[in-house]
Amino acid sequence: MLSPHASPYRAPAWLPGGHLQTIYANLFIRVPPVVYRRERLELPDGDFLDFDWVDGQPGTLKDSDPLRTKVRVESYVPVVVLIHGLEGSADSHYARGLMAHVRAQGWHGVVAHFRGCSGEDNRLPRAYFAGDSEDIERMLRHVKTRHPDVPLYAVGVSLGGNALLKWLGEQGESAKALVKCAAGVSAPLDLTAAGHTLDRGFNRRVYTARFLLTLKAKALRKATRFPGVLDAKAIAAATTFREFDTLVTALLHGFRDAEDYWLRVSSKPLLKSIAVPTLVINAKNDPFLPAWALPTAADVSLAVTLEQPDTGGHVAFPSGPFPGRLDWLSQRLMQHFNNRAW
């Protein structure tokens, strides 16, 4: 369904356009650092996942019976798990912003890192990708084991948003056993549309080129560690996501090529199957995904709320007078979770 908010976000007049909003927010608006507690989960396949935690405040009051008698339960505060975007981490501006808000409310928060994104290369000849439902489930189940008796709220940003939404759609009602409510922010819901958009013109020269710097470096290290698996020369020459995803992502994760990968892992077709209350935020001027590819109310289940402001860029949503702030998104997400609290 469509959000009841007619216009939930408006970009400041001094920062027009999706490109400026995206680039300025990422490079020039300061978000204070957050002190995390690192936890490593060793996986049965020999790899690992890293989680960066902020710990909530004990002593929250909870209803204990139908008479609404209050009892003090030391660990009964919700936990918010954030799944980052492409080449993101707990240090990404949106992660620091949300975790600061989570901590200020006294809740638990954690950034779950995809393989190879926590500052250390993963161990296997595989990486992470936009439809890795198995690792999404591993992340959520691990967080739930740490806080089994409290509500878990999940946020996926950009690539992580697509992966989370895909998992939610695949699981349907079963997802409620792990997640009470969820949100996807600037997710490339139609990866074919996003891939082709990012591989053209300004997008290719700026966004794609920047992502490929670190993606190619990681892939070339894998090519050295696992001889014969990847074509290092071709990877070094790649200048588009289509080339990289064909040479690396598709090859490592069982897809024919980039087009097959993009088609098979896009979350948009699964939005109709989501049963967990889920907020999906996409700015219509997001440079990564054209507005024509965004879902409508007819494309989603009744559990999904679409919020599609005209402005905001890609995981940006700056606000306030110059030099600006990046607190709108965190506040909106916390509002969504608070509406479902307990």
Give 230-251 as a 3 state SS string. CCHHHHHHCCCHHHHHHHHHHH
Average pLDDT of the residues in 280-304: 98
Of 62-71, 110-119, 255-264, which range is least confident? 62-71
Band of residue 1 on the pLDDT scale cut at 50, 70, 90: low
CB 202 within 8 A of CB 173: no
Place of tokens 């289940």: 301
109 backbone dihedrals φ, ψ, rounded to 5°: -140, 150
What percentage of residues in the chain have a pLDDT greater than 90? Answer: 90
d(CA 75, CA 61): 10
**Catalytic residue ranges:** 158, 286, 314
Band of residue 57 on the pLDDT scale cut at 50, 70, 90: confident
Band of residue 75 on the pLDDT scale cut at 50, 70, 90: low
Q: What is the pLDDT of residues 7-43, one digit of tens each?
A: 479 999 999 999 999 999 999 999 999 999 999 999 9
Cβ neighbours of residue 39 under 8 Å, at least 6 residues apart?
Answer: 50, 51, 52, 53
In the chain, the amino acid numbered 245 is D
Place of tokens 């710990």: 55
Domains within the chain, CATH numbers bracketed: 18-189+267-338 (3.40.50.1820), 191-265 (no CATH)
Whether omega for the bond prior to residue 321 falls within 30 degrees of 0, making it cis, is no
Q: What angle do CA 249, 255, 259 make, to 5 degrees?
A: 80
d(CA 257, CA 119): 28
The token duo for 52 is 């960066």
* pLDDT at 69 > cutoff 70: no
